[in-house]
Amino acid sequence: MKPGISAEDLYRLKFVSDPQVSPDGEKVAYTVKRINKDKNYESHLYICTLSSGATVQWTRGSHNDTSPRWSPDGKLLSFVSDRSGKNQIWLISAEGGEAEQLTSSEGGASSPVWSPDGKSLLAAITVKKKTDGENRLRPLEVTELQYKADGRGMLKDEYSQLFLIDRETRNETQLTSGPNDHFGAEWSPDGDKIAFSKSRTNEDTVSYASDLVIQQLGGEEKIVSHGTGAFTDPVWSADGEYLAYFGQTFEHGSATLGNLHAVHLDSGVTVCLTKNFDEHAGDAVIGDMHYGHPAPKAAWSKDRKGLYFIATLNGNSSLHYATLEGEVSQITKQDCHLYGCAVDSENDYAIFAASSPVIPGDLFYASLSNSAEEVRLTDVNSEVLSEIDLSHPEEFRFTNDEGNSVQSWLLKPPRFEEVKKYPLVLEIHGGPHGMYGNTFFHELQMLAASGYVVLYSNPRGSYGYGQQFVKGCMGDYGGGDYRDLMAAVDYVLAHYDFVDMEQLVVTGGSYGGFMTNWIIGRTSRFKAAVTQRSISNWLSFYGVSDIGFYFTKWEIGYHLFEDPEKLWQHSPLRLSNRMDTPLLILHGEEDYRCPIEQAEQLFIALKQQDKKVKFVRFPKADHNLSRNGDPGLRVARLQFIVSWFDQQLEELENKGGAILENAAADRV
């Protein structure tokens, strides 16, 4: 009998991403990432010949090789590698051989983009402000709202600038400047201009606001996006007439759906291709294996009358097509998480990277004109998956108190027996505007393998079900979203008699951590809880989070100085005197998104009231510990969760047994 998946199996799993089709349409380059137990993460380049299916590993070693990009003639691949100690751009022949280092920038280089003639590349290079005593400890002078960022730490006058790299001479020419990050660059078809996104990091705005800019190479810049928002991933039509891009204007704050736009460059007229789509243009599926994969840009059709793009809806992300007139259709039909894609419109196919609940991530072929033609190209985890038993989720839906259908899933233990009773763990996603879906989620599989039935659901506030649904929790944290989650639990207890209603536990991270805190402050039906990287106090979150100064108003409705009582009413810390559920608090020391003081406040409040609580602090870990953190800490975190649930339920069972024995003795 095969075992279920374990925490340590993280070290054995592989993940495929970033497919790139060669100019002749005959090959696809891609990356395969794995977790090296001793040396953190590593990834390598692979090339698959589509006609034969033959796959060759192109790079090796204990380093990270990412972002493969074909030269226009198909003879070279550029890629990003840390093999020299810092991320730089390298070149390697498409026929094989040794790689050559192209850049040697002090700040590192990334995001290579070939010029149409193949003689140069664009690269994003981090430029630091020169100071005296560079290596000496010095004060950080803060004058802006945005002075820190999760995963980056304190922002010290370092910005990503675009450089032109001559392939032959290796000369580097800086094309952009100023206190802004520049990213997502794309050449015009004639090679005379570039389009890119330019952040607004030094303005009184949100941390990811950006403009879309066209620059005459090395010359004048022109903003082509309209209004304040996030405008990214420009892509030119082959005739240079249009520039398409993703964008949103924060109309509904962080709950605003992403849209696909196209601007006619001569007239300046911009159209939103997904205006009537009412779903998110982009990938919003949540998982713990896919963090950091590059989001693919939209791709123009062969006739230049529309674009292919990824969209999120109903538990899936899929390839869609939008015409310039705003008609949207779905191309791929699998129930899956499609997170990477390369479109070859000339040859009528796409290569996409996708995951399902039992596939961590592989490549697939899809015809653009025949939706029935989808073929799997890789199976990178065949060996490890042949040795373990994974669970297949069962989907169900229920109608909430507003008449909306709430999509949910139940994951049973691998060796499930209908006659047994099982404990149930309610998992709550972060965001809150993310979406659980048909993707591989190691943590959920591991909990099921540990003997738990796992319930995960998309309450109001989740992407995938239209604009009204995704903004449904704003200003109402702990209201309708709480009722949706409790309704999901009630539905399971009413329809599945193998769940033990006396053995319910709950966990979640970020917003899911907030909701875990809120739940145990509102009900005692859960016998154990684990809160991860959570929010407990909106009053202090406003000033300590790297996004608190705008996210608080977006989500709760007010700034601290506008209505502090409203913030306090939505703070789980206020309910600490009602929290009788044994609670494990997990938090990263360097989390700037939900800073660790949120956990500290909750721990002290509970401990002083003699509640059952334990606090685990993860060193050098930021908000994304569960997705890209230190491998050893990731495994330890999973072990803490399972052991806490097991311990609390065992103590409850022993206590119940002792009560029965005492009652029997009293009767005698």
Q: What is the mean pLDDT of residues 572-600?
A: 98
Say whether pLDDT at 343 is over 90: yes
Residue 478 lies in a domain: yes
Query: With pLDDT > 90 as the criterion, what percentage of the chain qualifies?
Result: 88
Residue 630 lies in a domain: yes
Residue 23 lies in a domain: no
Give the pLDDT of residue 660.
37
Q: Is the separation of the CB atoms in 479 and 450 below 8 Å?
A: no
Model pLDDT for residues 590-617, shown as the tens digit of each residue:
999 999 999 999 999 999 999 999 999 9
From CA 649, how far away is CA 618, in angstroms rounded?
A: 25
Tokens representing 463 are 């992407």
Residue 638 lies in a domain: yes
Residue 518 lies in a domain: yes
pLDDT band per the 50, 70, 90 thresholds, residue 657: low
Give the pLDDT of residue 666.
41
From CA 71, how far away is CA 112, in angstroms rounded?
A: 10
Report the alpha-carbon angle 93-95-97, nearest 5: 60
Model pLDDT for residues 18-57, shown as the tens digit of each residue:
999 999 999 999 999 999 887 789 999 999 999 998 999 9
CA distances from 453 to 74, 572, 632 (A): 50, 26, 26
Catalytic position from the list 293, 429, 442, 623: 623
Instruction: Look at phi and psi of residue 91 and say left if phi exceeds 0, alpha if psi is from -120 to 50, else beta.
Output: beta
Residue 612 lies in a domain: yes
Give the pLDDT of residue 370.
81
Give the pLDDT of residue 207.
86
Give the pLDDT of residue 37.
82
Query: With pLDDT > 70 as the criterion, what percentage of the chain qualifies?
Result: 96
- Does residue 510 have an active-site annotation? yes
Q: Is the separation of the CB atoms in 301 and 349 below 8 Å?
A: no
Tokens representing 112 are 């290579």
| Continuous segment of H or E residues that includes residue 521 | helix 511-522
Q: Is the separation of the CB atoms in 350 and 331 below 8 Å?
A: yes
Q: What is the mean pLDDT of residues 457-483?
A: 97
pLDDT band per the 50, 70, 90 thresholds, residue 227: confident
CA dihedral 206, 552, 313, 242 (to 10 degrees): -20
| Continuous segment of H or E residues that includes residue 36 | strand 27-36
Q: Kindly give, in sequence order, each residue whose CB lies less than 8 Å from that of residue 624, ignoring residues fewer than 6 positions away.
A: 150, 151, 291
From CA 42, how far away is CA 65, in angstroms rounded?
A: 8
Tokens representing 332 are 């791929």
- Point out which residues pair with 88 in neighbouring strands: 81
Catalytic position from the list 115, 345, 408, 510: 510
Give the pLDDT of residue 659.
43
Say whether pLDDT at 665 is over 50: no
| Mean pLDDT across the chain | 94
CA dihedral 640, 643, 645, 646 (to 10 degrees): 180
Residue 466 lies in a domain: yes
Among the listed residues 254, 261, 186, 204, the one whose alpha carbon sits nearest the alpha carbon of residue 231: 261
Residue 483 lies in a domain: yes
Give the pLDDT of residue 667.
39
Residue 408's domain spans which residues? 391-536+571-656
Tokens representing 461 are 């506030």
- Point out which residues pair with 305 in neighbouring strands: none
Give the pLDDT of residue 203.
58
Q: Kindly give, in sequence order, each residue whose CB lies less than 8 Å from that of residue 469, ignoring residues fewer than 6 positions away.
A: 404, 460, 461, 462
Residue type, 423: P
Model pLDDT for residues 229-286, shown as the tens digit of each residue:
999 999 999 999 999 999 999 999 999 999 999 999 999 999 999 999 999 999 999 9
Model pLDDT for residues 144-187, shown as the tens digit of each residue:
888 999 999 998 888 999 999 999 999 999 999 999 999 999 99
Considering only the C-alpha atoms of the chain, give the largest distance between any 2 of them, rounded to a whole number of Å. Answer: 95
Output the domain CATH number for residue 430: 3.40.50.1820
pLDDT band per the 50, 70, 90 thresholds, residue 668: very low
Structurally, how many domains does the chain consist of?
Answer: 1
